[in-house]
Amino acid sequence: MADLDAALDAIAATGQPVWISVMDRVRAHDLLAAAQGRLEAGEDLPLFGIPFGVKDNIDVAGLETTAGCPEFAYRPETSAFVVEQLVAAGAIPVGKTNLDQFATGLNGTRTPYGIPTCAINDAHVSGGSSSGSAVAVALGQVPFALGTDTAGSGRVPAGFNNIVGLKPSRGLISTSGVVPACRTLDCVSILANTVDDALIVLRAAAIKDRADPYGRAGGDALAATVPARFRFGVLDEAVLARCTPEVAGAYRAAIGTLERQGGRAVEIDYGPLEAAAALLYSGPWVAERLAAIAPFAASQPEAIHPVVREIVLAGAGYSAVDAFEGQYRLAELTLKAKAMLEQIDVFVVPTAPEHPTVEEMIADPIACNSRLGLFTNFVNLMDMAAIAVPAGWSGAGLPLGVTLIGPALSDGLLAAMADRLHRADPYARLGAGEAALSRTRAVTEAPGTEGFVRLAVVGAHLEGEPLNAQLTGRGARLVETTKTAPGYSLYALPGSVPPRPGLSRDGGAGAIEIELWDVPLAAFGSFVAEIPAPLGIGTVETRDGSLVKGFICEHHALAHAEDITAFGGWRNYLSAGQATQITHATARNAQEHRP
């Protein structure tokens, strides 16, 4: 359990510009005591005692909601629906975080409460509009925080602060009690250090709100099954050239990682997505931003930040005809995007094309901000889900990130894929600190590891090889193709039928190709019983640091075996024509073989 007083102390020491207001310590402990009582009464509280931050356009009872504008402030008697769900799960809201005023911006500078800067380098913007929430998580003040995301406001600050930004499907988290930016598009987002943390929060928050006219039931949205083989959409080089070289380099590296994890990159036409993105600020949806605060904008326009005022008041220039024409255009573009999604499982894009300094943003606030939305603005318009994850570091020590995007209610798939990608980075660390990200996968993939044993397969049980039916016949499923950690050797065992290798962790130079399979626990014993000596089942470390069950070989059998480590894996060895080829009849006999 995260320490409540430690969080309150850290917040008090920081204050503005990260935080706008802080929960009274007595009130926070009252909430903790109430949660303790419910826990002792037998309630399941998955977030018991965990302090969290709340973007200050989301209501928390007892704290002012300012939306980044002091003159707009009001004190709600009840919390937003999402906050109530998290409190019901045992979490403690400890304060309200800074933001681009009225959630209009992707940079974090449009606020009268001081400018929160990047948690890693304060010369650069924090990203917005969920600026304070992202920085608070990156600094370790709270384990997670709520933001909102209409045009990228949860993803861009996550990318700029080396944390995870989960933008759920529209309506999956209620927006009741949230000051709207574009009410038909708004999403409450979750900022956390890991995908697993964000997903735990999403499971507690994604409760159907029957009073929210834009709410939707999640159904199987949080199921997390990653196909053994998947296709992901990538940008062409012309679009990628609009990014800084280091952003482009990190993006290409992420593509390589996904390919090693079983993915196939498919180049997409980014034109329809970018055209849709342009509609958000250069189309009639600007009028929806004005609709959200129309009475206030009419009575106190001088209270609105100058850049925000220029954007929002421009909404008055759009007619009802413009609104319908915009809807028609969006429908055409969405149809093209859906056709692309029929050919792939997810899109993968850089989170942002560049990371400007505060000075650069203030000098050119609209154009500079607009560039940050290149890969984010279309997502909610096209009713998609997305998650931003860290993807390395620039030469200047700034975090880089990528975003995975899928159709509505693909949240679980995106989370599982993003977690796998994040943990593949051997240098990943949490937020602005030095703590390393565990490379052991945390997100459980449906049907989950419960009731299954994850098994590393290295030879004749690989997909398409003679003994693979011993796995598939027991209901096992392929999870991914990967490699062992360094230090393993692979040997061709003489006289084995069908030909088999032996894997040994003997300090060799190899990282050997393996497949990971989930084998039903009920069938695992009978499978192991079929394995002939000198092979057996032990523990194998994968390249991402996970420890799984896997095929190993008794050491004595390797004395006269051929060292084939240099081939990098059994399939490469077979492809080189080094192993004895077996006939179909031999394969059938081998499948029926019992030791």
Q: What is the pLDDT of residue 578?
A: 54
* Superfamily of chain region 452-592: Gamma-glutamyl cyclotransferase-like (3.10.490.10)
Q: What is the pLDDT of residue 581?
A: 39
Q: Give residue for tokens 């917005």.
A: 128
Beta bridge partners of 290: none
489 catalytic? Reply is: no
How far from 85 is each of 88, 109, 152, 208, 371, CA to CA, in Å? 5, 31, 24, 10, 35
User: pTM for the complete prediction?
Assistant: 0.78
205-213, Cβ contacts within 8 angstroms, sequence gap of 24 or more: 205/82, 205/85, 205/86, 205/173, 206/168, 206/172, 206/173, 207/81, 207/85, 207/174, 208/174, 209/81, 209/174, 209/176, 211/81, 211/176, 212/81, 212/171, 212/174, 212/175, 212/176
* pLDDT tens sequence across 1-58: 468 999 999 999 989 999 999 999 999 999 999 999 999 999 999 999 999 999 999 9
Q: Residue 383, Cα to own-chain centre: how many angstroms?
A: 17
Q: What is the pLDDT of residue 441?
A: 54
- On whether the CB atoms of residues 132 and 116 are closer than 8 A, the answer is yes
Cis peptide before 498 (omega within 30 of 0): yes
Architecture of the structural domain at 4-423? Alpha-Beta Complex (3.90)
- Name the token pair of 266: 């498919």
55 catalytic? Reply is: yes
CA–CA separation, 51 and 32 (whole Å): 9
- On whether the CB atoms of residues 34 and 4 are closer than 8 A, the answer is no
CA–CA separation, 405 and 224 (whole Å): 14
Phi, psi dihedral angles at 171 (to 5 degrees): 85, -10
CA–CA separation, 415 and 326 (whole Å): 32
The DSSP string of 143-162 is SEEEEE-SSSTTHHHHHHTT
Choose among 221, 243, 222: nearest CA to 234: 243
DSSP, collapsed to helix, strand or coil, labels residue 140 as: coil
Q: Helix, strand, coil: what percent of the chain each, to 5?
A: 35, 20, 45
CA–CA separation, 135 and 289 (whole Å): 25
Q: What is the pLDDT of residue 218?
A: 82
DSSP, collapsed to helix, strand or coil, labels residue 42 as: coil
- Name the token pair of 41: 């009464």
Q: What is the pLDDT of residue 3?
A: 87
- On whether the CB atoms of residues 197 and 161 are closer than 8 A, the answer is no
CA–CA separation, 320 and 287 (whole Å): 10
CA–CA separation, 55 and 181 (whole Å): 13
CA–CA separation, 328 and 320 (whole Å): 13
Of the candidates 21, 55, 483, 546, the residue annotated as catalytic is 55
From the first residue on, what is the mean pLDDT of each consecutive set of 10 residues in the chain (595 residues)? 86 95 97 96 94 98 98 98 98 98 98 98 98 98 98 98 98 98 98 95 95 88 80 97 98 96 96 96 95 97 98 97 98 97 96 98 97 98 98 96 97 94 93 85 50 90 92 88 90 92 85 92 89 91 84 90 93 76 35 37
Choose among 560, 586, 561: nearest CA to 502: 561
Strand ranges for 371-527 from DSSP E: 384-393, 399-407, 452-457, 477-483, 489-492, 501-504, 513-520
Domain range summary for the chain, segments of one domain joined by +: 4-423, 452-592
Q: Answer whether 4-423 and 452-592 agree in fold.
A: no
CA–CA separation, 555 and 558 (whole Å): 6
- On whether the CB atoms of residues 372 and 235 are closer than 8 A, the answer is no
How far from 187 is each of 144, 166, 466, 585, CA to CA, in Å? 16, 10, 49, 58
Burial class (CB within 10 angstroms; exposed 0-12, middle 13-18, buried 19+) of 314: middle
282 catalytic? Reply is: no
Q: What is the pLDDT of residue 584?
A: 34
Of the candidates 21, 79, 126, 129, the residue annotated as catalytic is 129
